[in-house]
Each structure stands twice: as structure tokens, then as C-alpha cells.
Amino acid sequence: MRFEIDHALVLPAVTKYLAGSTALVGVIEEASKQAPIAASSLNSSAGFLLNPLDLPGVAIFLSASKRLGRVCAPAIGGACVGIALRTVATVMAA
């Protein structure tokens, strides 16, 4: 199976999952100044990019308390399933 991913969205996707949604917005804004990113490309990636699961969010979740740390793995698993379903739905709708 081959995925057709817009090359302009690789850096924003990596940035989102490593640095969070605020960093994603900054990267997309700066990238759009150099070469505009197609709105259709952004819309088709919304299911994958717009979610609360990222490294800073998980770090905050884990550091909140030991009790939250114990439920972190199932929460991350559920988030991954939700992201996958939303991504498939977004791609199918496009």
C-alpha cells in the first residue's frame, strides 16, 4: 500500500508530534510564507494533525500524578485508534 503524502506536510507533522499544536501552527505559518500549502492538502491532513496527542501532552499527563500515569497506556492506545479512524474518515471524504 502506498500513501500519497504531500511533502509540505512532513515537517509540520513531525513538529506537531514532537513539540505540540502551537509549534505546528508556527511551522505552517512560516512555511506558507515561502511556498503556500494547498488548502485541500491541509484539509485532508486534519484528521491526523488536529488532535491532543503529542509528546508535550503525554509528558504533562504522566507528570500530573501516579494514578494518571497508570492509565496513560490505555489512553494513548485509545487516542491512536481515534486518530486512525478520524484520518480514514477524512481521507474517504476527500
Tell me the helix, strand and coil percentages in the chain, rounded to 5: 80, 0, 20
Say if CB 47 and CB 91 are below 8 A apart.
Answer: yes
Q: State pTM to two decimals.
A: 0.75
Q: Side chain identity at 32, as an amino acid letter?
A: S
Q: How far apart are CA 73 and CA 71, in angstroms?
A: 6
Q: How far apart are CA 58 and CA 40, in angstroms?
A: 30
pLDDT tens string, the chain, 94 residues long: the values are 566 777 888 888 899 999 998 898 899 889 888 888 888 787 778 778 888 899 998 998 888 888 888 888 899 999 999 989 988 888 787 6
Domain ranges of the chain: 7-93
